[in-house]
Amino acid sequence: MDCRKIMLPSIIIYGLINSVILALIAMGFSLTFGISGVANFAYGGFYLFSGFLVWMLLNYLKFPLILAIMVTIGVTGLLGFVTYWVILLRVRGIALSEVIATFALGVGILELFRWMGFVTYEFTLPYLKKGMILIAGVPVDYQRLFIIGIGLGLVLFLYFFTHYTRIGLSFRGIAQNERTAISLGIKSDRTAALSLAFGSAMAAVAAIVILPLGIISINTGYEVLLIAVAVGIVGGLESVPGILVASLILGYAQVITGTYFKPEWMMVVYLAAIVLVLGIRPSGLFGKFKELEERV
Amino acid sequence: MGKKGLLALGFLVLAVIIGFPYAAVAQLKPGDPIVIGVPTALGSIEGRDGWMAIQMAVEEINAKGGVQVGATKHLLRAYSIDTREHEPGIPVQDALTATEKLILEKKPHAIALGNFRSEVLLASMDLMSKYKLPYICSIAMTPLFQKKIADEYDKYKYCFRNCLNSPYLAMYMTEVMKFIGKQFGFKKAYIIVQDTLWAQATGKGLDKWLKENGWEVASFDAYALGSSDFSPSLIKVRAQKAQGIVTFFDMPQSGILLKQARAMKIPALLAGFISPVAPENAWDVFEKEVEGMVNMQFEIGPVPVKAVPKSVAFNENFGKRWGKEARVKLSGHGPGPSYDSIYIFANAIERAKTVEPDAVVKALEQTDMQGVVGRIRFGKDHQVVYGVDPKEAALGCCFQWKKPGTRVVVFPEVVAEGKIELPPYMK
């Protein structure tokens, strides 16, 4: 098999994996923003907190992996819930204050771990299952297949959850029109707090499946926030279909850049996409957030 | 007093205020300690271990009464400050500010270990010149350091380096690649480095050598600090059927390159330097997936070499002082030279009979002693001379990870305890 024949399927497969990784990272951020209007800039901090929490439960308390995962998702969700009531409730609706408050919290979490000495190469999470298979001659490890599976599963879960459950329907009600939803008896603050909890729990799910591919390092927290914001801006911050399409665009753009140009330019893809989309269509490809202003 | 007298007095006061910090540190009264400043990236494994090695050396010297300066003995005291320069996004200026803070607050007589990132090292040379501080760098590796000293000796004469530099690393790696090419008939390599001065310089040096010596270099990729997905390069390694992957990384994330290569079943021998793969505990941390990797040990010590007894003693004593857990985490770059640097300073100060910077610099230039890394002598460019015989020069070595989790020294031949073998996934 010549070089090109291997390269093309590799790019298709690894581009898809990369896209699902981006979608997994961005979905929690997007969910919270779409429902409560809060841009949770502590998202990277929650993501890293989840990674370190699993690591500590596994290594210090010797929890079984599955129990460590369940506890971590629950605790991170609770952290998001508490964050709303303790920090965001008082600044809700003041966008700049929301961003400052959540960003400060995120930086605080990340730098706390740095201060605690969580900075070396030893912090790695185990693969859910070791091994690999060949797909069109391209080796793909099971962990990456899990990522694709969990990414798709999460999208389906979100769809059914928001269409067929009481809490999910209240999410949609608040997202569509908060005042009308309140007049129908939906509690705005409770729903917003739950959206933050769900978004945070989704950050934990993303961390648990993605972090085994690398190590848990502090700068990952900052990188995750950049990814979530970039995907959100390109796709439309409150739009799940937009997030999926943006993830595919950025995921493939990154892999193609890394393969055919230079790997050190991969990070530039996010920044270039943010600048480009903000310049042409500030609401993103599927967003309606600023659509009226754009038309005017 | 007339106007002229007042003006003269004013100038005198000004001169005393400006000159005092420089003059004061150059004089020692009985009972005064000799202060060593250690500004470095304490969060990096190299910085952390280097600082521990320095404290160990200070304790050993103090236990023997200290450093003889003329008629009196003076204890050593070391102070560190975290420059955080290994972290992505930390500007050079921040690291320099931390260094200057340490200089102004602790008023050191000398600086040891020093900068982690070459970019910071080059900028900090002006600080050392400004404060006339003898400085032995034990981590950052750029050859531009020596060029600056050679070009402006009077300004930068206070700066020395006792760790390996990029050209020496490239020298060792060319020898290893020569052996790999001859032994296994390999002719195609793929170079992956991190996007920093030292790694780029080493990679380019090796790239040039490989091309001049009948190798084909499939590609040369650089990754930004903090990167943890190396699949774009690994896809190309597989597609282009490279037989060897040459790597130069010191960021914590780089260890995962091996894990990803194994997960993707890349049939190529990894050789070079991946910092997290060097410590003794890497076999367990990376779940045995380091097997087969040929990794540089920039300076011996963390890997004890029987032919250099001080390297064995250092390794054992480090474990006694800091515990087994710390010993098995000893990094592949920095600890040996950091430990040696304190003995080099002590030796030079004793010979100079003063801590006056220019006298210490002269004594440092005449250093010729045995240390953890082998024989220590500075070249005219203030770089310790590295070679393949520890009786003649300082020594770096290359080891291969083999079952059941041991680091077998495979180069240089004079100290080798085994030969490079193809890992199971290449047979």
Reported ipTM: the value is: 0.71
| Residues B30, B155 within the same domain | yes
| Residues B400, B286 within the same domain | yes
User: In this structure, is residue B245 part of a structural domain?
Assistant: yes
| Residues B224, B174 within the same domain | yes
Instruction: Say yes or no to pLDDT of A128 above 60.
Output: yes
Residue whose C-alpha is closest to residue A257's, from A271, A267, A245, A247: A267
Nearest to A7 among B231, B239, B276 (CB): B239
Nearest to A122 among B253, B264, B285 (CB): B285
Which residue in chain B has the smallest CA separation from A21?
A: B229
Residue whose C-alpha is closest to residue B264's, from A24, A121, A213: A213
B238 and chain A: CB distance < 8 Å anywhere? yes
Please give the Cα distance from A138 to A13 (Å, whole number).
8
Find the domain containing B106 and state its range: 25-164+307-387
| Residues B363, B404 within the same domain | no
Please give the Cα distance from B16 to B5 (Å, whole number).
16
How much is the pLDDT for A296? 45
CA A10 to chain centre: 24
| Residues B265, B345 within the same domain | no
Give the count of Cβ contacts less than 8 A between chain A and B. Answer: 112
Q: What CATH number is given to the structural domain containing A9?
A: 1.10.3470
| Residues B46, B82 within the same domain | yes
Cross-chain residue pair B88–A141, CB shorter than 8 Å: no
| Residues B400, B415 within the same domain | yes
B196 and chain A: CB distance < 8 Å anywhere? no
Cross-chain residue pair A7–B235, CB shorter than 8 Å: yes
pLDDT per residue, tens digit, chain B (427 aa), is 566 676 667 766 666 555 544 444 456 888 899 999 999 999 888 899 999 999 999 999 999 999 999 889 999 999 999 999 887 778 899 999 999 999 999 999 999 999 898 899 999 999 999 999 999 999 999 999 999 999 999 999 999 999 999 899 989 999 999 999 999 999 999 999 998 888 898 899 999 999 999 999 999 999 887 787 888 888 889 888 999 999 999 888 888 898 888 888 889 999 999 988 999 999 988 888 899 999 999 999 999 998 899 999 999 999 999 999 999 999 889 999 999 999 999 999 999 999 999 999 999 999 999 999 999 999 999 999 999 999 999 999 999 999 999 999 999 988 898 999 999 888 7
Q: Say which amino acid occupies B355.
A: V
**Integer angstrom CA distances of residue B388 from A178, B175, B410:** 74, 10, 12
Please give the Cα distance from B206 to B224 (Å, whole number).
20
- Is residue B3 classed as helix, strand or coil in its secondary structure? helix
Which residue in chain B has the smallest CA separation from A138?
A: B264
Give the dihedral of Cα atoms B229, B233, B234, B239; nearest 10 deg.
Answer: 150
Please give the Cα distance from B349 to B359 (Å, whole number).
8
B264 and chain A: CB distance < 8 Å anywhere? yes
**Segment (H or E) for A148:** helix A142-164
Question: With contact defined as beta carbons under 8 Å apart, do B115 and B140 qualify?
Answer: yes
B255 and chain A: CB distance < 8 Å anywhere? yes
Q: How far is A210 from chain B (nearest CA, A)?
A: 11
How much is the pLDDT for B2? 67
Number of domains comprising chain B: 2
Q: How far is A34 from chain B (nearest CA, A)?
A: 30
Question: With contact defined as beta carbons under 8 Å apart, do B308 and B321 qualify?
Answer: no
Q: How far is A135 from chain B (nearest CA, A)?
A: 11
Greater confidence (B24 vs A197) lies with: A197
Q: Which two tokens stand for residue A188?
A: 């705005």
Cross-chain residue pair B255–A222, CB shorter than 8 Å: no
Q: How far is B220 from chain A (nearest CA, A)?
A: 9
Q: How confident is the model at residue A239 (pLDDT cuts 50, 70, 90)?
A: confident
Which residue intervals of B224-307 are DSSP H helices? 231-239, 256-263, 282-285
Q: Which two tokens stand for residue B174?
A: 């060319």
| Residues B51, B120 within the same domain | yes
User: In this structure, is residue B16 part of a structural domain?
Assistant: no
Residues 6+ apart with CB under 8 A from B398: B172, B176, B294, B295, B296, B297, B409, B410, B411, B412
How much is the pLDDT for A288? 66
User: In this structure, is residue B211 part of a structural domain?
Assistant: yes
Residues of B in contact with A146 (CB under 8 A): none
Q: How far is B265 from chain A (nearest CA, A)?
A: 7
Residue with tokens 């260094």: B99
Question: With contact defined as beta carbons under 8 Å apart, do A221 and A45 qualify?
Answer: yes
How much is the pLDDT for B24? 43
Number of domains comprising chain A: 1
Q: Say which amino acid occupies A233.
A: I
How much is the pLDDT for A295? 47
User: In this structure, is residue B171 part of a structural domain?
Assistant: yes
Q: Please provide the distance, in angstroms rounded to a whole number, between the alpha carbons at the two ends of chain B.
A: 92
How much is the pLDDT for B326? 93
| Residues B332, B264 within the same domain | no
How much is the pLDDT for A6? 65
User: In this structure, is residue B5 part of a structural domain?
Assistant: no
Find the domain containing A249 and state its range: 3-295
Q: How confident is the model at residue A2 (pLDDT cuts 50, 70, 90)?
A: low
Whole-structure pTM value = 0.76
Q: What CATH number is given to the structural domain containing B401?
A: 3.40.50.2300
Cross-chain residue pair A139–B223, CB shorter than 8 Å: no
Q: How far is B168 from chain A (nearest CA, A)?
A: 26
How much is the pLDDT for A70? 96
Greater confidence (A296 vs A121) lies with: A121
Nearest to A264 among B222, B236, B265 (CB): B222
How much is the pLDDT for B197? 82
Average confidence score pLDDT of chain A: 87
Residue with tokens 């050396």: B57
Please give the Cα distance from B266 to A248 (Å, whole number).
26
| Residues B351, B237 within the same domain | no
- Is residue B35 classed as helix, strand or coil in its secondary structure? strand
| Residues B31, B47 within the same domain | yes
Residues of A in contact with B223 (CB under 8 A): 263-264
Please give the Cα distance from B136 to B408 (Å, whole number).
30
Question: With contact defined as beta carbons under 8 Å apart, do B13 and B48 qualify?
Answer: no
CA A189 to chain centre: 23
**Residue B89: CB atoms within 10 Å:** 10
Cross-chain residue pair B253–A266, CB shorter than 8 Å: no
Residues of A in contact with B330 (CB under 8 A): none
Tally: H helices and E strands in chain A: 12, 2
How much is the pLDDT for B12? 64
| Residues B96, B31 within the same domain | yes
Please give the Cα distance from B163 to B384 (Å, whole number).
7
Q: How far is B76 from chain A (nearest CA, A)?
A: 27
Which residue in chain B has the smallest CA separation from A262?
A: B221
Residues of A in contact with B88 (CB under 8 A): 219
User: In this structure, is residue B3 part of a structural domain?
Assistant: no
B229 and chain A: CB distance < 8 Å anywhere? yes
Nearest to B256 among A114, A215, A255 (CB): A215
